[in-house]
Structure 1
């Protein structure tokens, strides 16, 4: 253990023992900083070895981070380039930066310190985490999503997983600049949003589904009423007539549970033009399809799947979870009637996120849902290396496409056809 860490542990234990817990609750950060700084100065002057001003400032900041922030991982929270923070016990901290997972040299003083920070996080949002309730999903003050698992469920110490909220509002133009899609793809997706197509965004964890959903929402008209439904509020829509709903976990007494399915059902009574479901993961899929089929055109949702075909299969499975005893044929017909566009986003091996497929659902033949791929990302196998290389390609779009029909209706046909010039139609 380094001398600086030993010094911090020594000072921390002495100062925390002297702090009045009740007085802390009424003190501002500035007042507490003055007291902590004064205590550190006194302890430094009595220390056997000289303590530099830089080391004293570092100790003060670390203590304030523990009292008001997230302790040792607060610097990772403040780094805007970091998107995920993963704490696997007191000695193992990882973070994702620029799409790559890295190990941090940050450690906690002890499992007790880590557990106390986990309990503070839960307490700030009115939740609790203890042996009776060892897991919790919560949202930090800045909108970041956090999941906590503590022993005895977590075998190697308290686990904290943080998906950070991005302050900047990423647009379609930004995604084109990042290389996530081509300009033609961005144009087609913006037209799909303006034409009120029902869109399903599919992809893996951390692939950028919510980011794309936020970007698509920029093309929704200000005169539409939108209801968003999420487990943890991440969507940042700018329209004036916006209603944001969030689920609620059940209390320790097993009361007060409000699920996404409950919220989707209730939203239908709120006169929405569009319903945007942050992530579809269960029985609420049935109500979502019903909404798309009953006048709420332009509704959107995300789900976890590895391909557009897998996304349709997952929707089928989720509807079956609702225990409605619907025959599979009826479920597939409901899917074909409701969902019009499936957008597949992927996080590639080099950490980049790309839209690898835009597919339109065009009908059903026999037992299969028929899909037409409008755009795809074609990997360059010759250029295989550390960085993924490839290009976005299109085979054009059929004139019987629902997107073409709606583009005609909204006066956007010519703009849509600009995206497919030279595609061999």
Structure 2
């Protein structure tokens, strides 16, 4: 299998994809890269991304924007950011816009050792592939315990998750149809006004198709979804501001080229280096994150965002019929789940529209970088809830737009640790739209 690696993973292939670390050559491979190579995969190159993974459409990549296959050679060009790590949707969104599969496993299933840290409580190694089976093959190769990453799930914890799933007594294909015994939820809060009519259409069509395969379709409520985007854009920048503090030109990163020899104070060197080498989006998020961590705003922003994150997680736990072992590890009696009326997986859109058009001239490109930054954040509205809850989620192609013929996709989300079920159901959805 030929594999491309996102440029924020350490490899022996070349330097990282950011201005501050342009000349940095990693002395080792990331754990997942080593596992892929040990499993017989061949790493053929590295893929583009926004600087430090901060952005939605590679607008802020030092190598320029990535163009999706369907747009090349046409008068209009559409965006397609790369991915193999997912913080708030960086695997699922590009997959949705290119009409391929994008899988984000449960948080901690795959080692982050060797992955350049953006937001440590959100960063998840993910997989982009043509088929669900290819994604499953890579997932089984890289989903291993790793003592080099303290957030990677231990062997004992994985065994306990497997035992919990077995005890649930759930059986796929328990009847004559392939999805007999499976309940799939449709969250009502995801019918947002920005949602394209074509995506609503394929969402309903797919739910009907799954019902014909034996699945029970149930409406569910995830009431705190409306806060997810705000929570994400408080917590992720806060963690980024901490993680990127090390890049000061003294400890890590190249020095600023315009330093005055008289400025020998460390803080002046760091300020000049960071101002010169961090791009506009990275600086913006560092400022936002630092602001939310200051004494005057910590309780009003960061602390409240953390509390809301737990409520978002509890919404999902209440919807599923399987308990979240991560949330109840130290107190099994506190499990919040819906054993009898809950669902096995949740079906929702991956994005609100098909791939957005990107600028085709230098002037419009500059305008895109300087326009209201929050306008691009709406792309993450469907993907960040699963990231905040640490749940497995997969984007599956689901037809084409009637207006421009670009790919449309849907997203399937499962309970923490229920990655294999998510892949099983996703395979059936993929087969529906791959059928002649």
Scaled by the length of structure 1, the TM-score of the pair is 0.22
Q: Which has the higher strand share?
A: 1
Q: Which has the higher helix share?
A: 2
User: Which structure exhibits the higher relative contact order, with contacts defined as CA atoms closer than 8 Å and separated by 6 or more residues?
Assistant: 2
Q: From the CA coordinates, give the structure whose radius of gyration is larger.
A: 1
